[in-house]
Amino acid sequence: MNRERPMKVDLVALDELAEWSFRSGPLSLGHNSGKFFTMRGVRTETDFGNVPVWDQPIIYQPEIGILGFITRVFDGIRYFLIQAKVEPGNINGFQISPTLQATRSNLTRAHRGSTPRYAEYFTGKKPVNILVDQLQSEQGSRFLNKQNRNMVVEPLDEVPLYDDFCWVTLAQIKTLLQRDNLVNMDARSVLSCMPLPRWEMLGCGGLHEFGDSLSISACHDNAGVHTNHELLQWLTWMRSSYERKLSMRGLDELNGWRKTRHEISHESGRYFSVVGVSVESTSREVSRWTQPLVYHPGEGINGLITQRIRGVLHFLVRACLYPGNRDHFELGSTVSRSDYLSCTGHPDAPEFLDLFVNRDPSWVRYSSIQSEEGGRFYHYQNRYMVLELPAGTIKEIPEYFRWFTLGQIQSLIPHGYFTIEMRNLHACLLLY
């Protein structure tokens, strides 16, 4: 399919982006319509962590989009309608996306193109049973207060099948998740909103030893070293104990960053940069457009540590403070770093990063390279990894970490506590 419907993407200078322009007061880069999103500058000041102040560009997109699957039962087996979708930032062309992946600007046709396929099933125009409906965040390190509505709906009437869409079972999605850069970030986000026991009831089957342990960790409510009440008290304490002050700054005023015609990048060459692209496509609502993208060179890491405590798998969850978080702290994976190779062995390296870099192969329960959202990020990919350490390997943890059972994670996901990095790793546990 990648050969049949290619998307042509070329890097262009930021001042050559058609219908985009820099605006002063403070300097930002936005679409002339006022829709879609804006690249802004932000300064973060905090008394948490070892970096008290930093500047960076950030994506401002206050509208709430929809990420959703249509599901139906055929011959007693539940299927999900997936789309093969290409985004300008994808590293490999088409990837598997939810049935609908649309911003509010897409749904209101701000791009003057056609309405996205199947939008009527998620906007109240068609009768459906709503199985999942949750507001969830995107990357707080790159987006300012961004949320999407994650949905799974079951139509009451027959559903037409269009080109680039097909029905798959969750067992098939399990297989697809083993492939690098195939199931996109938005699909993983929606999958993460579905509790693991429900996946098993839908006929995935095939559990083995680690899968059995996941099932036990998911189903035993009283097996955690902490109660849900204690975990929420800890999160409230983190949110109330540390300050985070944000101030908007111009893209030309960011300390440590340089703005040229072609990009906005960090002087050290680390982190990320803002670039421009020109796009031509035969498979999208519009055939030609330009836009900025956030470019991450190389490969990041998104890792989750688990070990047995009192015989039950517990997952090491981190309280993460990012500039774009709505509530200062969200609950994230053990390690999430886009530039981990540049900080490995340095004083500012994340806690527990060394366990992933110097891992024992026998610890690895999941490992693949997964892409982040290609509509805003250019070739951004992370190594997703789940490590099961021998019981007792980690005995003490810093105050901003806590051990959660899988059941506790699943019970709190619907309330919007977890980062997208953590939710995406949770979706990868579908393999078991």
Q: What is the pLDDT of residue 284?
A: 74
The residues near 107 (Cβ < 8 Å, ≥ 6 apart) are: 66, 115, 116, 119, 123
Average confidence (pLDDT) over 40-49: 98
Give 373's DSSP letter.
-
Q: What is the pLDDT of residue 5?
A: 54
pLDDT tens, 166-194? 999 998 998 999 999 999 999 999 999 98
Average confidence (pLDDT) over 272-296: 92
At 104, the pLDDT band (50, 70, 90 cuts) reads confident
Asked if the model's pLDDT at residue 200 lies above 60, the reply is no
Cα maximum dimension of the chain? 60
Q: What is the pLDDT of residue 372?
A: 96
Domain that holds residue 288: 1-432
Q: What is the mean pLDDT of the chain?
A: 92
What element of type H or E holds 105? helix 104-107
Asked if the model's pLDDT at residue 84 lies above 70, the reply is yes
Q: Domain tally for the chain?
A: 1
CATH number, domain containing residue 89: 3.90.79.40
230 is written with which tokens?
């204690």
At 202, the pLDDT band (50, 70, 90 cuts) reads very low
Asked if the model's pLDDT at residue 220 lies above 70, the reply is yes
Omega cis (within 30) before 26:
yes
Q: Are 354 and 361 in contact (CB under 8 A)?
A: no
Higher per-residue pLDDT: 59 or 201: 59
Average confidence (pLDDT) over 369-389: 96
Q: What is the pLDDT of residue 149?
A: 97
pTM above 0.85, yes or no: yes
Asked if the model's pLDDT at residue 206 lies above 60, the reply is no
Higher per-residue pLDDT: 257 or 112: 257
Cα–chain center distance at 1: 25
At 390, the pLDDT band (50, 70, 90 cuts) reads very high
Average confidence (pLDDT) over 217-242: 94
Asked if the model's pLDDT at residue 119 lies above 60, the reply is yes
- % the chain with pLDDT above 70: 94
Select from 213, 74, 229, 69 the least CA-distant residue to 149: 69
What's the per-residue H, E or C state across 307-352? EEECCEEEEEEEEEECCCCCCCEEEECCEEECCHHHHCCCCCCCCC
**Residue carrying the six token digits 């024992």:** 360
Count of C-beta atoms within a 10 Å radius of residue 28:
19
Q: What is the pLDDT of residue 114?
A: 80
Q: What is the pLDDT of residue 109?
A: 74
Average confidence (pLDDT) over 39-56: 97
Q: What is the pLDDT of residue 111?
A: 60
Quick one: residue 82, left, alpha or beta (phi over 0 = left, psi -120 to 50 = alpha)?
Answer: beta
* CA dist., res. 272 & res. 40, Å (int): 14
How far, CA to CA in Å, does 125 sit from each of 118, 120, 154? 10, 5, 13
Cα–chain center distance at 325: 13
Q: Which amino acid is at 265?
A: S
At 286, the pLDDT band (50, 70, 90 cuts) reads confident
At 112, the pLDDT band (50, 70, 90 cuts) reads low
